């Protein structure tokens, strides 16, 4: 691997920052301590800082030369509302909050790159360092854009990166097209007529109606959409009843829908609505159907994905740049890719063997209470950010 020497040399200091962030996790739109730390380090390194986009977002501006060209590099900062099971020294000090997705490491990698870019400035143009809040459900990317991210900081392209457990350290993955799914939620309330459970003919039981809906929803995937189009419908909650001898008045279904295209999402939403309303009507019940779209699909632009792959190959070799297998997880970097060309990649986080003693007994996977980011990634991820920015600004403008 061709790690930049200065990044390897400063890795221990940046890793200490990462572990401090891990010990002090903050939830979406509450990243005040994290934003303060990021802003303080950028300022210390002579990087002008803009704060407040998306409530707690931070943008660092590294300029050199006279070129008007610019590129954006994005890291997310927020943690998850879950209890950490790790007991090592840098485990979360706040009950019910944990950096279980590696955003502490994403922030650290971009900080390491920022320090190098500020010191060496081996480029002509501007690099915007985007430290984004509220990726975990808050839509922080959408909020930063709405507050003027791309108006105030015009950039030709924007790039993002996420650690990926199970992928070997020293490897990357990037591909054109959809790489993460849309995230959507539904809530269906079936209103029937309660009665004594021994006299069901006197009521309208919403429970078997709900069961019919759950089964029928899966036919959307097998009989309405094209077999080659990906889609997931998961009913994850069913709530009804309070006593074993009472037919309840209502039953509520909740769950999630994931797709790689908005066309498939439109189809699924409409068919779910039709099925729910008509099944309820067929049994003499009423139905309230609510469908909420959270994040759109994350779709990499072909030219930018190909460029990112070239940069990675120059660092780790072409054999260690993998095809990015699409995942049904969601990512609000999707909003940035709707607004600007760019690509979102994965960097291998290893198999969990890097974790300090006293880690939890579970696997080192994302959103798991035993997860921890691999600090060995910091100089590698930072090298990718630096080389990507330098090479983007050195190539001819589109």
Asked if the domains at 5-181+297-394 and 182-295 fall in one CATH topology, the answer is no
Domain ranges of the chain: 5-181+297-394, 182-295
**Does domain 5-181+297-394 match CATH 3.40.50.150?**
no
What CATH number labels 182-295? 3.30.70.360
Question: CA-CA distances (angstroms) from residue 177 to 69, 72, 266, 293, 320?
Answer: 25, 20, 19, 20, 20
Angle at alpha carbon of residue 261, lines to 134 and 165, rounded to 5°: 50
Residue matched to tokens 């502490």: 104
Q: Are 14 and 111 in contact (CB under 8 A)?
A: yes
Digitized pLDDT (tens) for each residue of the chain, 398 residues in all? 999 999 999 999 999 999 999 999 999 999 999 999 999 999 999 999 999 999 999 999 999 999 999 999 999 999 999 999 999 999 999 999 999 999 999 999 999 999 999 999 999 999 999 999 999 999 999 999 999 999 999 999 999 999 999 999 999 999 999 999 999 999 999 999 999 999 999 999 999 999 999 999 999 999 999 999 999 999 999 999 999 999 999 999 999 999 999 999 999 999 999 999 999 999 999 999 999 999 999 999 999 999 999 999 999 999 999 999 999 999 999 999 999 999 999 999 999 999 999 999 999 999 999 999 999 999 999 999 999 999 999 999 87
């Amino acid at each position: 691997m061709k790690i930049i020497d200065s990044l390897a040399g400063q890795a221990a200091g940046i890793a200490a920052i990462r572990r401090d962030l891990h010990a002090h996790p903050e939830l979406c739109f509450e990243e005040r301590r994290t934003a303060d730390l990021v802003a303080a380090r950028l300022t210390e390194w002579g990087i002008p800082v803009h704060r407040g986009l998306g409530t707690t977002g931070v943008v660092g501006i590294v300029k050199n030369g006279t070129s008007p060209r610019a590129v954006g590099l994005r890291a997310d900062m927020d943690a998850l509302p879950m209890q950490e099971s790790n007991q090592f020294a840098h485990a979360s000090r706040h009950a019910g909050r944990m950096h279980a997705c590696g955003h502490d490491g994403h922030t650290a990698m971009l900080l390491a790159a920022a320090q190098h870019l500020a010191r060496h400035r081996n480029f002509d143009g501007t690099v915007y360092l985007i430290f984004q809040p509220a990726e975990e459900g808050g839509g922080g990317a959408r909020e930063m854009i709405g507050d003027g991210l791309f108006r105030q900081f015009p950039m030709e392209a924007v790039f993002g990166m996420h650690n990926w457990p199970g992928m070997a350290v020293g490897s990357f993955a990037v591909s054109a097209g959809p790489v993460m799914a849309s995230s959507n939620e539904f809530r269906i309330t079936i209103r029937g007529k309660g009665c004594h459970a021994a006299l069901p003919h006197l009521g309208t039981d919403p429970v078997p109606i709900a069961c019919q809906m759950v089964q029928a929803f899966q036919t959307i995937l097998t009989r309405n959409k094209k077999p080659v189009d990906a889609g997931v419908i998961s009913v994850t909650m069913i709530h009804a009843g309070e006593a074993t001898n009472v037919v309840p008045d209502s039953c509520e279904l909740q769950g999630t829908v994931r797709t790689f295209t908005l066309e498939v999402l439109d189809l699924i939403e409409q068919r779910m609505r039709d099925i729910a309303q008509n099944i309820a009507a067929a049994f003499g019940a009423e139905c309230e159907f609510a469908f909420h779209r959270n994040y759109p699909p994350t779709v990499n632009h072909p030219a930018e994905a190909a460029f990112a792959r070239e940069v990675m190959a120059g660092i780790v070799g072409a054999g260690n740049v993998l095809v990015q297998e699409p995942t049904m997880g969601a990512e609000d970097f999707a909003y940035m890719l709707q607004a600007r060309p760019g690509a979102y990649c994965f960097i291998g986080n290893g198999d969990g063997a890097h974790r300090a003693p006293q880690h939890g007994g579970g696997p080192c996977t994302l959103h798991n209470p035993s997860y921890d980011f691999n600090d060995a990634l910091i100089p590698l991820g930072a090298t990718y950010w630096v080389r990507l920015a330098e090479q983007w600004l050195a190539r001819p403008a589109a």
